[in-house]
Amino acid sequence: MRILEQCRAQARSVSLAVMSGTLGFWVGMLFAFVACGIMIAIGRSVAARRDAALTVALELPFLRSSVAVLEAATHAERLFVETSLTSHEELAAAYVLPVGSSASRLVASLDDIADALAQRGVSVRIHRVDSGPASQPNDEGVVTAPITLTISTDDRTAARFLEIVELGSSMLVRDALEPMAERALLSALDASAPGALPAAARFLATDLLDYAAQPDVVEGRMFADVPSDIADRLRALLLRHGLGSVRSALGDIAPMIRATHAWPLPLVRVESFVREGDRLTIVLTAFSRART
Amino acid sequence: MSSHPDQSQTGQPGALRQALHRLSVPTLLFGTVVLLASMTLSCVLTPDRFPVQVAGTVLRIGDLAQERRLLLEQQALLIDERREFRRRDDAPTLGMIRRLRRERPAVGTTWQHVLLALAEASAGGTRWSQDGVAYHQGVLQIEGDVRDLGGRSIQALAGIVDILRIVPGVRAVREPTYTTEPDPDGGSRSPATLHLTFDHADT
């Protein structure tokens, strides 16, 4: 029996020794599997990041462009805020949307404009101006008053006269330009000539009468470093979306209007007009601010 | 023990176990080296360091992600700055003017374009002559007639309506009543009243 017990104990120790011998093999295999798992994880992670990177790479040009346009627009806004916002706000509050009635200022300005047109051989005669009672102020404190104007001129000149009246509340180039055109201009410059973006910001903050007097010179400053085909396309865009009207309506009379200090005009909206013979009766709504 | 019948029968390790025993040290060494190597690789070769080729340019993934992050940060800053400009409300009057101006139709400019289109439509043997014009709350009403020496005044009138539909600032042109009558000066004439609705009109 003792011999049998000793044999069993010896067998157990041999077995343990063998087990401990194979343990190294299994641990080695486990390490190898873990290493394989890590390598597969690295591969998958790289593949996933590469896919993500391609998406980012496709997104980046749009993002760069968007940031550049935003930067130019913000620069234009900052430039305007730092240099001329206060003075323009004061001008707007005094002349474009004044407190109380704007009728007298409007009549005087229209007369100056008719004189300026007459000096250029374009006849507009103002026969009569009637102003009605002001409305109650709305929630923003804006009051409106009807102004009836009777002029005698042909249709082309009457349309130009109305164009000037409507442009009258614009003080800067950006005021006369449709917002989508401003965005399109900045976008196109960013894509073709990013160096011209600061010049574009200055262009948008240019005084409207300065632009009207010398539109090609003012545009030329912005397009100095822009390829000519792009510049031509952008000039056409500006003409179509607001600045064409500035050139045709104000081009030859801008210096005279500046000399008379008629600009800016009070903000008006054309409500109606009707032609009777050679006379055109125009009804405008003039905007002003209520006294507080 | 039942899973190892050879051992239970012989009472000593089998050939397979002896083989595993012999392989244990090399396998352990191999496993350890491979594990250490893979751990080192996972630290050194991070995905951000892998290059990608985009439009012929080789860039690192990390650089792209970093540029995107910087651009987004810059965009957020600029948007905040612009919002701040507007929130400061340094120019309440200018803001109000801008809003009021954008809500009204550009009557003078659109009328100019309409007159130009009508002048251009009068070409060859066709002539548009105007008898009256009126505008009220976004709608321009023009009375006149088209004369055509070739007797095709209705076609000429339809052509004018089509031209007016593409004039900038004109949102719609109502179809006029098409009639024709002989023109004492030769050909035919089609009197018509044109109704043009401008952009931003209330009606």
pLDDT of residue B150: 82
Q: How many CA atoms lie within 13 A of A251 on its CB side?
A: 11
pLDDT of A43 strictly over 70: yes
Q: Scanning every residue of chain A, which has its alpha carbon at the shortest distance from the alpha carbon of B130?
A: A155
- Written as six digits, the tokens of A108 are 């005087």
* CB spacing of B109 vs A166 below 8 angstroms: yes
pLDDT of residue B104: 84
- Tell me if ipTM is over 0.90: no
Closest Cβ opposite residue A162 in set B23, B97, B108: B108
A13 part of contact set with chain B, CB < 8 Å: no
Q: How far apart are CA A225 and CA A186, in angstroms?
A: 14
pLDDT of A1 strictly over 60: no
Residues of chain B with pLDDT below 50 are: 1-11, 203
pLDDT of residue B111: 94
pLDDT of residue A204: 87
A224 part of contact set with chain B, CB < 8 Å: no
pLDDT of residue B17: 78
Closest Cβ opposite residue B107 in set A54, A249, A270: A270
A265 contacts in chain B (CB < 8 Å): none
pTM of the model: 0.69
Closest Cβ opposite residue A25 in set B28, B112, B134: B28
pLDDT of A179 strictly over 50: yes
A24 part of contact set with chain B, CB < 8 Å: yes
Find the mean pLDDT for residues A128-150. 89
A23 contacts in chain B (CB < 8 Å): 24
- Structure confidence at residue A51 as a pLDDT band (50, 70, 90): confident
Closest Cβ opposite residue A92 in set B45, B94, B106: B94
